[in-house]
Structure 1
Amino acid sequence: MESYNIFCYNASDYIKEIAKIGTNSDILLYHRKDGDMVMTFIEPVKYPEKVSSLTDSIYPSDIAIVKVSTINKDLGEVIVALDLMEKKNGIIIAGEEQKPIIKKIIENTSLKDYKFFNGKPMELVEQIKSMKIIRDKNSNMTVIDHFFKVKGVGTVALGFVLSGSISKHQKLILSDLDKEVEIRSIQMNDVDVDTASAGSRVGLALKNVEPSDMERGMFLSDKPFEYAETIKGKVVLQRSLKMDLGDNFEVFVSDIMRFQRGKFENDHIILDKKIPIVKNKVALSNNNIVPRIFGTINL
């Protein structure tokens, strides 16, 4: 079964025509199944109030859909976020009169190869199907975004298999707690399965952990985790921005599906809480500037 995860900005009128609503919190997920293909659409419903709603929706996505109604600061911030989080596969829904302006805005960003679209919802489905996603089949990593207790089942976690694959009865390490948990069962689209590969949206019944011990942005892996509490890399600002980052400047690591606070001190970032190192580079945000997501730093 092939799975595509699609970030959606300002496109709910399209998505509601082609998919069914699923999990709803500060991010809203929709699901569509066509034969052996499953599409999960992720919408940041608390954006623009919460920039974490935006970055948490972008993080697990393979493809981005951006519908242009008005060219304003919110659209600009979305473009900056997609650029810094290096989301290179996408579709822009825009009218002919908007295309030249948008092309100019994205020409030097990660969005430069996005396809323009101005058709009907079902035509959008075909456009998504035509896109190719390259998966990492080697490393084993799943990110968790929701979790709760189910009577008769126990702890259930919802998330995305980012790379590799997972199996029923497999024992994995849960980040932050660094404890071994067992996958009792796996569901995809409310159907029990024995395995789930990279890209899959999954519901996992977990043994040896309580929902009260969990938080969004935890990871499951077959290998031990390394962590960062201090980040000493050089901040690279988004190419259109200029700013000074002095001591005590508040910053949030914002694209590991977690919004972790820290501050600059002596040219490095001291985090309030350690973060698992699952990627080489993370994006940074500050709630008091525009755009709020402003740069990247290497871990």
Structure 2
Amino acid sequence: MSNIIIGTAGHIDHGKTSLIKALNGYEGDETKEEKQRGITIDLSFSNLKKAQQNIAFIDVPGHEKLVKNMIAGAFSFDCVMLVVAANEGIMPQTVEHIEIMSLLGVKELVVVITKKDLVSQEELQSQKNRVLSFLEDFDFDLKFICCVSTFEEKTIENLKEKLFTLKNTNKTQENFFRYYIDRVFSVKGIGTVVTGTVLGNKCELDEKLFIPRINKETRIKNIQVHNQNTLEANISNRAALNLQNIKATDIKRGDLISKKGFLRGFDTLDISFKCLKGKQLYHNRTYSLFIGSKKVEVKVLLFDSTTNLEEGFATIKAKEPFFSVYKEKVILRESNHTIAGGVVLNCVNDPMKKTQKRVLLKALYDEDYKQSYKILLDAHKKGLGLISSAQRFALSHEEAVEFGKNLENVFCDEKELIIYPIQTKEYIKDTIKEIYTKNKYALLSNAAIKLRIKWASSSFIQTVLDELEAENFLKKEKSLYKNANIKEDFSKSLEEVITKRLKQEELSPTAPYNIYDDLDIDRKLGDTILKSLCSKKQVIRMQHNLFIHADCLTKVVQEMKNIIKEDGYIDIKNFKERYPLSRKYLIAYLDYLDNFSQIKKVDNKRVFLSEFV
């Protein structure tokens, strides 16, 4: 089924809600306050079907004080239906609504002149001409202009026919599902239900979703599209989602629902902006930002001015994180006035200087991804994750990898989705060379090197190891690399090295992994050596990461027995008085005494059994 979302726009009392009712019978003003005041206060949603075509209507309030509610629905419009009353013509909210639609990048427009029965044919034609003249200042694709009266059924039927000629949604499909909540409520026996417009990609029944603001995963228990249960909701569908394990009080209008792992939150956004005619953005001033159905107070920091600008680049700062994507539209307002519209260029807070950021924003504005990657790699010398390309550039993983592979002077790890500046390879090479130069008996694997250079991927490290092997600096033996200049097999002698070290450290032996790192040997190899020494009883394993030389253990056991003879018992206190060791060692050695039959534990003390005879 083809889907299109048409949103109303126009001044209060020009007949937007009455027109929707005439088209599909839906009474939009259903709250008590709306009926009492006779105006639309919040968004209302309905639809119109014909065969495999579905038109979703979002009716917005026309009152100037309710523009914030109007914007919450406007971000999801595929087409705007401008409603102008024939007896009043263009009015203030007509202008502001159309300005907002233009700022949000909605291109397709239909014009409906209502209340045609209240004016003469001459006045009706005059109003049409005024509307067309007004629209000349905007870049809309005007599909048609239609004059109606809700009392003349033929005009309504004619409008319906024209609406069904409109094509399917023009929204760009993305790699992952996005959905801004515009309503949330709890239904007895069902649970939490949210409504919103499907963006980015479809969602399916039983699919796992993620709500970034509350850092919580959920599952779709049920999907309804226009009051019909469905297995999925596609892009531009108005959908109600029944969410599992989410309280209605935990979420609110403006919250984004998406897929886990695609969006990171940052309290800044870098945008390009353009003000409405006669308006300006002021540096370091607070504005209301509208993004999706979310409204948040922000501070605007201009890039190219310390005073004000009509258009340019700016950084938006908030006290809460945004979970935005490249090219998402925003609106900036001050009090009850719309000031500017913007496009998100950079939604990730990168560690870079302002001058560097300025160049990046120009590249992103021009959609020059090659230059953008180059600038970002200059800032991220230890690797740039391609997985963030969906958020950064609206690219799929495949597209991002293809870009990475075609960039010059980079290493692209297709498996781990990371790209590195090629000069970073020299840093890894120098680090490995330093290890083997400092300790000519080093024996390390790729995994052991990755533990030291945590930001480098295994594939990137392997390219360096391969080069060092080709240069005859290293020699590979199974999965380990040794200094190519050392001819003898020294792996066996490592047992002697570790045994000697443990004996020297006596009662305070170093943890195994620290020994391996000090000796520059692979952890797996080190574990194998310790197992061998334990099987030979040369080393005793006291705890998970505590190994002691057998001679040292025999000595401390005898000393502990002497303390019992002198004091009648041994516990942590009198043991520590003779041997000022850390509590970890003291407890381990005391516990070891329990292996001897002549010693008994009483409370926290150890005594000889003869004391009880």
Does structure 1 residue 15 correspond to structure 2 residue 20? yes
CA distance in 1, matches of 2:92, 2:183: 30
Deviation at 1:279, TM superposition (A): 4.5
Distance 1:99-1:226 versus aligned 2 partners, 3 A rule: farther
CA distance in 2, matches of 1:17, 1:49: 26
Deviation at 1:71, TM superposition (A): 1.6
Q: 2:51 aligns to what?
A: 35
Q: Give the letter for the 1:117 counterpart.
A: C
**283, 294, 298: which one aligns with 1:262:** 298
Q: 2:263 aligns to what?
A: 225
Question: Relative contact order, CA 8 A, sep 6+: which one is greater?
Answer: 1
Does structure 1 residue 184 correspond to structure 2 residue 204? no
Distance 1:26-1:279 versus aligned 2 partners, 3 A rule: farther
Name whichever structure is richer in strand by fraction.
1
SS at match of 2:100: helix
Which range moves more in the overlay, 265-274 or 152-161? 265-274
Segments of structure 2 that go 5 or more residues without pairing to the other structure are 32-40, 114-123, 149-154, 304-314, 346-613
Q: 2:330 aligns to what?
A: 283
Does structure 1 residue 161 correspond to structure 2 residue 177? no
Q: 2:160 aligns to what?
A: 125
SS at match of 2:319: strand
CA distance in 2, matches of 1:144, 1:177: 14
Deviation at 1:138, TM superposition (A): 4.4
SS at match of 1:164: coil
Contact 1:141 1:161 in 2 (8 A): yes
Q: Give the letter for the 1:121 counterpart.
A: I
- Matched residue count: 296
CA distance in 2, matches of 1:136, 1:153: 33
Q: 1:54 aligns to what?
A: 70
Deviation at 1:106, TM superposition (A): 2.2
Q: Give the letter for the 1:65 counterpart.
A: M
SS at match of 1:226: coil
Q: 2:521 aligns to what?
A: none
Q: 2:495 aligns to what?
A: none
1:191-230 map, 5 Å: 191-223=228-260, 224-230=262-268
Q: 1:2 aligns to what?
A: 2
Distance 1:174-1:210 versus aligned 2 partners, 3 A rule: same
Contact 2:104 2:331 in 1 (8 A): no
Q: 1:77 aligns to what?
A: 96
Which range moves more in the overlay, 93-102 or 152-161? 93-102
Taking only the aligned residue pairs, the percentage that are identical comes to 20
Contact 1:7 1:58 in 2 (8 A): yes
Contact 2:73 2:182 in 1 (8 A): no
Which range moves more in the overlay, 249-258 or 132-141? 132-141
SS at match of 1:74: helix
**202, 208, 211: which one aligns with 1:171:** 208
Q: 1:45 aligns to what?
A: 61
Q: Give the TM-score taking structure 2 as reference length.
A: 0.45
CA distance in 1, matches of 2:17, 2:342: 29
Distance 1:21-1:293 versus aligned 2 partners, 3 A rule: farther
SS at match of 2:294: coil
Deviation at 1:80, TM superposition (A): 0.6
SS at match of 1:17: helix
Q: Give the letter for the 2:66 counterpart.
A: K
Which range moves more in the overlay, 60-69 or 110-119? 110-119
Which range moves more in the overlay, 72-81 or 27-36? 27-36
SS at match of 2:242: strand
CA distance in 1, matches of 2:341, 2:219: 37
Deviation at 1:115, TM superposition (A): 2.3
Contact 2:211 2:257 in 1 (8 A): yes
1:107-122 map, 5 Å: 107-119=136-148, 120-122=155-157
1:85-100 map, 5 Å: 85-94=104-113, 95-100=124-129
CA deviation digits over 1:14-46, x for unaligned, max 9? 211112246866112233333333322112226
CA distance in 1, matches of 2:3, 2:343: 30
Structure whose CA Rg is larger: 2
Deviation at 1:237, TM superposition (A): 1.5
CA distance in 2, matches of 1:210, 1:251: 31
Deviation at 1:275, TM superposition (A): 1.8
Which range moves more in the overlay, 166-175 or 75-84? 166-175
Name whichever structure is richer in helix by fraction.
2
Q: 2:311 aligns to what?
A: none
Deviation at 1:246, TM superposition (A): 3.2
Contact 2:195 2:239 in 1 (8 A): yes
Deviation at 1:137, TM superposition (A): 4.1
Distance 1:107-1:187 versus aligned 2 partners, 3 A rule: same
CA RMSD across the alignment: 2.4
CA distance in 2, matches of 1:244, 1:257: 22
Does structure 1 residue 250 correspond to structure 2 residue 289? no
Contact 2:263 2:324 in 1 (8 A): yes
Q: 2:131 aligns to what?
A: 102
Does structure 1 residue 235 correspond to structure 2 residue 273? yes
CA deviation digits over 1:68-109, x for unaligned, max 9? 223222111011101000111120123421233323322242
Deviation at 1:135, TM superposition (A): 4.4
CA distance in 2, matches of 1:54, 1:295: 15
